[in-house]
Structure 1
Amino acid sequence: MTKLFGAILVLVGALMFVPGIWLIALGGSWYYSLAGAGLAAAGFYYWKKQLLGAWIFGAVFAGTALWAVWEVGFELWPLVPRLVAPMVLAILAVLLVPSLNEGRGRTASLAAAGVLALGIAGFFWGMATPQNVIANTDPVPTRAIAAESPNWTHYGRTPTGTRFAPFDQITPENVGELEVAWTFNHGDAPSGTGQDQNTPLYVDGLVYHCSPNNIVSAIDAVTGAQVWQYDPEASSPLWQRCRGVTYYEPTPREGAPADGTCAARIVLSSVDARLIQLDARTGALCTTFGDGGAVDLTRNMGEVRPGFYFPTSAPTVMGDRIILGGWVWDGMAVDEPSGVVRAFDGRTGEIAWAWDIGNPAIDTVPPEGETYTRGTPNVWSTPAFDAALGLVYLPTGNAQPDFYGSSRIEAANDWNSSIVALDVETGKVVWSFQTTYRDIWDYDVPAQPMLYDITTETGEVVPALIQVTKRSQTFVLDRRDGTPIAEVRDLPVPTTGGVEPDYLSPVQPYSVDMPVIGAEPLTEARMWGATPLDHLYCRIRFRQAYYVGDFTPMSEQGTLIWPGYFGGMNWGTGTIDEARGLLIVNDTRVAHLLQLIPRQEADALGVEVVGPHDGLAPQDGAPFGAMRSNFFSFVGVPCQEPPYGTMTAIDLADRSILWQRPVGTIEETGPFGIRTGWRMPVGLPLVGGPISTASGLTFYSGTQDYYLRAFSSETGEELWRGALPLGSQSTPMSYIGPDGRQYVVVTVGGLNDIMGRGDIVMAFALPEE
């Protein structure tokens, strides 16, 4: 046993010493090389059964403990890779001491091993307890909110996009009694790059769900029985998803069918780029709209290769206007389809107006023989609108290519990664606000703007627009004119070290009065791993990459993008508890490593494009392709320290964090993607978004374990956890059914092919009296 242990120490020492020399050469920590040499020496003497091996090991262990505390203090997660594995080795080392010392010292060895075991148990107890929690124990002022409607008629429930349900039947006191009320199988489980990320609607007794391939199901809101289903027979080579449909009641006019056909309509956009209208009561096509019920969204767009353009988010219906942009396959080429935003007459499907960033003269359809300007920033997320102001608010994306700006049209510089307010009648720009200047980090505005009236310090009530971003910045603007309510400053950022210094902006906008969530700068000391070996690997990768803080320029060396282009905050947006004045958001903390590849090399790679956000982005027509990857260790864990996802409540009155907690456990996943079964609340990357209710609950389901959770909106405490059959990527919704019960509905499509897929819609409610 002693020889075996000695051999293990020599092996571990070598695995630390050699890469440790590499780390030193990169300008990193000397610890790994020194500790590796010490462990190898200790192993040599254990192999020879000499007591000197134990003394050397003890010195290495003591030095490791001192170094760990010196580098990261006493926070649990940073100490785990630095101390837990050495403590395991230390137990074996002390238990073998008597074999090195002619049998003497057994009692002391057992005692030392016991102390070390208690230390390890303490670490595991800590890992089973949420860390980095900001708790709130103070009461939160609450105002009464009238439940003006039992319905959920828009993607964000109302045009304001706050995802606030003004219902109080399910409360913090009785939420633990929630049970499954009904389940529905729609028959279109996602696969490959497809996902079920749909937030259903509820209107007058029916729940409307849209599947990844745009199959729309109308479900009885009390029983879960299918009322009708419509299959558009849509297909796309990738990225199949439908985040929402829209409910629309056309303004009455002469010639409307006397039998009430299509008096209420469901509006959906499809993955093969069609805009379709259905009778909300029967599911039949509204044949007076477009060409037999559908409009071809590729009209006037020029060449649209399969999968290169289609909307993924719900259309926006404002009056009798249907407004939508589209998703463009990121990073494929300079000459990709236009990001034009169009408004259609909701009754006929005729073009009402178009906003073409590249050619403002095109305000409806292009002249004969021309197309909408190609390669412009798009609007792939969901707009919000203020009917009283007559404004629709567009979150714009990035122009193509994502990671090399000098090949874009000049107009893109003014409009990418912005919030743009358009007059809904004319499509003309009223104001705009840019969240990232000259964006080459894929920091498009991913989330629906949230409209909420804020009371300022002077007592003035200001109609505000609140915009969360991938950068973890939250911008608060006057939605009348785009003026910041919370101060925004242009601060200097790096512009050297990349391939295009002349393109970069020397400053970027920062919302200095609002909290920044989970975006503290990376350092070598913040690298992480489950063991010292993958910890060392991540430190080497960090030193190899080019990173000088926010907005590090893109490089051939390989640039760390932090926050990554998954966020921060993403398309799930967030919720505003309107009764308490709280902005509640989930975030993801995953860095990305992006390496620019010169054109000739990129063309020669012949690498299959594996998806919109990873692998090779060819960027055809630009001088560089881009190789994209998550900044993970070799065991499949993010390289920076946990948590990797949190839920945070921000008090909008004083603009401070009220509470924050990690969300998600490794029960269904873990190193190498292996299911651990351990409900360790490390906080994992999150998708989708939360909703809030008048009773003070926040519901969320987009974790990598299989639960719908309810949190106290006031304290952040997890009050209830309802088991789901698979993972969910959707934002829940809530309604009051015809039976008077409050329901919470979530779609459950699974996370990926390995972890299982499903076609399930689930409703939870309190037990019937």
Structure 2
Amino acid sequence: MRMKQLSAVAISTVALAIAACQIGGADPVKAGATAGVTDAMIAAAPDAEWLSYGRDYGEQRFSPLTQVNDQNVGQLGLAWYADLDTARGQEATPLVHDGVIYVSTAWSMVKAYDARTGQPKWAYDPKVPRETLVRACCDAVNRGVAIYGDKIYVGTLDGRLVALDAKTGKEVFSKVVVPDQQNYTITGAPRVVKGRILIGAGGGEYRARGYLAAYDPNTGAEVWRFNTVPGNPADGFAKEGRNAKAMEAAAKSWAGDWWTIGGGGTVWDSITYDPATNLVLFGTGNAEPWNPAAMGREGDALYTSSIVAVNAETGEYAWHFQETPEDRWDFDSDAQITIADVMVNGQKRHVAIHAPKNGHVYVIDVKTGQFLSGTPWVPVNWTTGLDPKTGKATINPEARYDKTGKPWVGLPGAIGAHSWHAQSFSPKTGLLYIPTNVAAQGYVAAKDWKPSAIGYQFGIDPSQTSLPAEGRAAAKAATVGALVAWDVAAKKEAWRVPMPTPWNGGVLSTAGNLVFQGNATGQFVAYSADKGQKLWSYGTQSGVIAAPMTYAIGGEQYVAILVGWGGVWDLSAGILAHTGGAYKNISRLMVFKLGAKGTLPAAPKPDNQAVLDPPPFTGKPEQVARGSQLYGRYCTVCHGDAAIAGGLVPDLRHSGALGSEEAIKSIVIDGVLHENGMVSFKSALKPEDAEDLRQFLIKRANDDKALEEKKGG
């Protein structure tokens, strides 16, 4: 790791006092002012600190600090930065307490810095085995830590809950909390609620059963668990305890033998606590596999693709609202849930505001789960509309690709109109700021699909939806993004900033009439919160997907952002991942303040993509067809659609192993690169399958080589 402290301009005592008044709210943090973080501190959300993932229990990501505002944001400069040693996607929101900034990075590492100077304090590496990547759908990412008492908590990619001493970074405990370490991962940030650490797990694309659990902060022992998917009805539901009736009711909305591969519904993000009702609201993932027919699934499949509310102390079911019934499009409801008081039909209501993947902004009563409104903010074709009273979606019959037997191009696609990238709500403007994707997705039901011991359990055939060469330009032009400001009370868009690509960073809004967002094209930007006018930007040298935050120390307000391009879009979208330009991953923490004059080192020159020079294709058409299916099921998720990599992992069209049948076999079957994350697939593939994959890749490389030569000529 390399850290550079940038020179700071000394200011007078009088200027300090004036600046402190300008910041507003609580007094600036003093080193050693508290012994630890309490529930009351998290609930009160001190102005100068950032103590939880969404800053406050309601996950509004709104800061009352005003020293940096729409009148002076143009003076914002780089105060310090810290380069990281994990060149993968960076998705975390830093926390700040007692003058220390804590941040998790890829591979679930945790680092602590002096929040004023950037001086490193400690670093922790949980040593996640690199082969864990085979069960991590979306890169080796981590979205943040929790702080409680004198400890820092992080969920690791391989399924552990780890507690660290906040002062030293020394491990206090490390406990495996997932049901198994073959199908589950943890990428989300833990939350602290009523003296417990809350977190779920990922793995819905594998063989996982979703849940949310609460853990003792001193031992990691499980206190309660809510399963989001019912088990085998033949076993009864008594073991679900106080949630037995809820599980029995949910089972009636399923068919087939879903429990044999878990059922999905994973809680990989989106945990919000409401003190007014003592409820924890969380989002759940889609049912698995995507294709219902593959496992004989029928019905709504509760409680997948839903918001679920449970008692914070016991985990007992209170209510649910399903946003996407019979989900077959990967429309997880794991996007951040925000709680606020807003006007609904002329009355102030205490509501949950949610903008999940399926393309609608939902407003739900927090106490009862009553549907108040649901409005699309992007093009939507999977539903013909929502019931105005219940909010239940009417499914477009053509979107049931498993029943029609025809390909379906859905809007939104599987990355969603809005994924995990943090939204923000400003009580001052009444606007919800949504990082928005406009990207279609093709779906084709796989024939004779069976679950496998390794890899994605989709039940669809990605080989039939890969972009052909002649369609790439049009697809890229139609694949865009935006920052959308949504008027929650009026149920309409207030303003929009178009962007050339989806998969842009999370959002921060402030009382200084500002909205901050990093984007995929390598810019950190400030907009006016009321009108969306661009006021300031700073080049980050890498794409940004994480959300910014802000804090104050010694009378000065700082704005921090974690930089580093990656995540599932970069891995699996193929050529579409480059709609905003091909950016190198440069992972670093960047911190800004008014008047700072720091600079980054010169950006490395873009890597010149090697000229395609594959061996000649000598295979048979049937090998290519078979290899295409195998690639779609087992390889696309990391190496990209149509064998075009997004940038984080090798582009297999350029692999030096293509010239050797034995070399490919040693990688795919023997697992010689398992320490790099490329594990053996021998549990699902045979040596002849590896050869079919090789012939498919050779054919793809030769096809694209010919295309490049044609363009060059």
| TM-score bucket of the superposed structures, by smaller chain | 0.5 to 0.7
CA distance in 2, matches of 1:732, 1:578: 18
**In structure 1, which of residues 481, 485, 494 is the aligned counterpart of residue 368 of structure 2?**
481
Selected match of 2:426 from 577, 597, 600? 577
Q: Which residue of 2 aligns with 1:324?
A: 199
Identity of aligned residues (%): 27
1:247 is the counterpart of 2:147: yes
Aligned equivalent of 2:526, options 710, 726, 729 = 710
Higher mean C-alpha deviation, range 153-162 or range 630-639: 630-639
Q: CA deviation at 1:764?
A: 1.2
1:351 alignment counterpart:
222
The alignment partner of 2:239 has SS state of: coil
Where in structure 2 are the equivalents of 1:200-239 lying within 5 Å? Answer: 200-235=94-129, 236-238=132-134, 239=139
Residue aligning to 1:393: 281
Q: CA RMSD in A?
A: 3.5
C-alpha distance in structure 1 between counterparts of 2:195 and 2:352, whole Å: 23
Aligned to 2:594: 766
CA distance in 1, matches of 2:374, 2:498: 28
Q: 1:457 to 1:561 in 2, by over 3 A?
A: closer
1:450-477 Cα distance to aligned partner (Å, 9 max, x none):
000113344x432110010112101101
Q: Is the 8 A contact 2:99 2:114 kept in 1?
A: yes
Q: Please say if 1:690 is aligned against 2:507.
A: yes
The answer on whether the counterparts of 2:204 and 2:287 sit within 8 Å (CA) in structure 1 is: no
Q: Tell me which residue corresponds to 2:51.
A: 153
Identify the residue that residue 336 of structure 2 maps to in structure 1: 448
Structure 2 CA distance for aligned equivalents of residues 145 and 174 of structure 1: 16
Q: CA deviation at 1:550?
A: 6.0
Offset of residue 759 of structure 1: 2.6
Unaligned runs of 5+ in 2: 1-22, 27-45, 232-236, 244-258, 572-581, 598-713
Matched, 1:470 2:357: yes
| Alpha-carbon spacing, 1:549–1:589, altered in 2? closer, same or farther (3 Å) | farther
The question of whether the paired residues in 2 share the 8 Å contact of 1:376 and 1:412 is answered with no
- Distance in 2 between residues matched to 1:570 and 1:632, nearest whole Å: 26
Distance 1:212 1:562 in 2: 30
Displacement of 1:656 in angstroms is 2.0
Could you say if the C-alpha distance between residues 443 and 340 of structure 1 is closer, same or farther in structure 2, counting changes exceeding 3 Å? same
CA distance in 2, matches of 1:182, 1:372: 51
Distance 1:494 1:177 in 2: 44
Compute the displacement of 1:732 (Å). Answer: 1.0
In structure 2, do the counterparts of structure 1 residues 760 and 475 end up closer, same or farther at CA, with 3 Å as the change threshold? same
The separation in 1 between residues aligned to 2:168 and 2:334, in whole angstroms, is 34
Asked which structure has the greater CA Rg, the reply is 1
Name the CA distance, whole Å, in 1 between partners of 2:595 and 2:468: 44
**Shift in Å, 1:348:** 2.3
Contact 1:384/1:393, CA 8 A, preserved across alignment? yes
Aligned to 2:559: 744
Residue 181 in 1 paired to residue 79 in 2? yes
CA 417–168 in structure 1, closer or farther in 2 if over 3 Å, else same: same
1:734 equivalent in structure 2: 550
For structure 1, the 5+ residue unaligned runs are 1-143, 250-263, 287-292, 496-505, 522-546, 610-616, 664-682
Q: Is the 8 A contact 2:401 2:445 kept in 1?
A: no
* Corresponding residue of 2:683: none
Q: Is the 8 A contact 1:375 1:409 kept in 2?
A: no
Question: What CA distance in whole angstroms lies between the structure 1 residues aligned with 2:451 and 2:321?
Answer: 35
Mapping of residues 344-423 of structure 1, within 5 Å: 344-356=215-227, 357-359=229-231, 361-363=238-240, 374-404=262-292, 407=295, 413-423=301-311
Q: How many Å apart are 1:389 and its aligned residue?
A: 1.6
Aligned counterpart in structure 2 of residue 598 of structure 1, from 420, 428, 447: 447
2:334, 2:355 → 1: CA distance? 8
Q: Residues 686 and 580 of structure 1: is their aligned pair in 2 closer, same or farther, counting only changes over 3 Å?
A: same
Aligned residues: 512
Seen in structure 2, the aligned counterparts of structure 1 residues 633 and 578 have a Cα distance that, compared at 3 Å, is: farther
What is the CA deviation profile of residues 569-588 of structure 1, one whole-angstrom value per residue up to 9, with x for unaligned ones?
A: 11114110121211111211
Distance (whole Å) between structure 2 residues aligned to residue 440 and residue 549 of structure 1: 12
Instruction: Verify the 8 A CA contact 1:154 1:201 in the aligned structure 2.
Output: yes
Contact 1:186 1:217 in 2 (8 A): no
TM-score by length of 1: 0.61
Equivalent residues of 2:437, 2:482 under 8 A apart = yes
What is aligned with 1:509?
386
Matches within 5 A, 1:123-202: 146=25, 148-190=46-88, 195-202=89-96
Alpha-carbon distance change, 166 to 551 in structure 1, aligned in 2, over 3 angstroms? farther
The whole-number CA distance in structure 2 between the counterparts of 1:494 and 1:155 is 33
1:176 is paired with a residue of what secondary structure? helix
Equivalent-residue separation in structure 2 for 1:226 and 1:204 (angstroms): 15
1:427 corresponds to which residue?
315
**Match for 2:493 among 644, 653, 657?**
657
Does 2:417 correspond to 1:568? Answer: yes
SS at match of 2:585: strand
> 1:551/1:404 Cα in 2 relative to 1: closer, same or farther (>3 Å)?
closer
Distance in 2 (CA, whole Å) between partners of 1:508 and 1:560 is 18
Aligned residues of 1:166 and 1:693 also touching (Cα < 8 A) = yes
Shift of the alpha carbon at 1:446?
A: 2.8
CA distance in 1: counterparts of 2:375 and 2:491, whole angstroms: 13
1:341 to 192, 207, 212: 212
Change (3 A) 1:183 1:638: farther
Give the drift of 1:434.
0.4
Shift of 1:478: 0.7
Kept in 2, the 8 Å contact 1:351–1:364? The answer is no
User: Cα deviations across residues 519-574 of structure 1 (Å, max 9, x unaligned)?
Assistant: xx9xxxxxxxxxxxxxxxxxxxxxxxxx9776666654322121111121111141
Q: In the TM superposition, what whole-angstrom CA distance separates every residue of 1:663-710 from its partner, at most 9, and x where no partner exists?
A: 3xxxxxxxxxxxxxxxxxxx321333111010111100032x111011
Query: Aligned pair 1:557/2:406, yes or no?
Result: yes
Measured in 2, the distance between the counterparts of 1:145 and 1:628 equals 57
Partner of 2:611: none
CA-to-partner distance for each residue in 1:356-405, whole Å, 9 max, x for gaps? 23155334899xxxx99933411111211112321111101012112225
2:176 to 296, 302, 310: 296
Q: Please state how far the C-alpha of 1:435 moved relative to its aligned partner.
A: 0.2
Distance 1:435 1:348 in 2: 36
- Cα distance, 1:234 vs structure 2: 1.2
Separation in structure 1 between the aligned mates of residue 83 and residue 280 of structure 2, nearest angstrom: 35
Q: Secondary structure at the match of 1:153?
A: coil
Matching residue's letter, 2:444: Q
Compared with structure 1, are the counterparts of its residues 408 and 178 closer, same or farther at alpha carbon in structure 2 (3 Å cutoff)? farther
User: Which segment drifts farther, 627-636 or 414-423?
Assistant: 627-636
Counterpart of 1:237 in 2: which secondary structure? helix
Q: Distance in 2 between matches of 1:731 and 1:326?
A: 21
C-alpha deviation, 1:768, in angstroms = 5.8
Counterpart secondary structure, 2:372: coil
| Contact 2:99–2:115, Cα closer than 8 Å, also in 1 | yes
Q: 2:467 and 2:389 mapped to 1: Cα distance?
A: 28
Aligned equivalents of 1:373, 1:352: Cα separation in 2: 25
What CA distance in whole angstroms lies between the structure 2 residues aligned with 1:602 and 1:375? 12
CA distance in 1, matches of 2:551, 2:260: 40
Q: Which residue of 2 aligns with 1:93?
A: none
Could you say if the C-alpha distance between residues 767 and 309 of structure 1 is closer, same or farther in structure 2, counting changes exceeding 3 Å? same
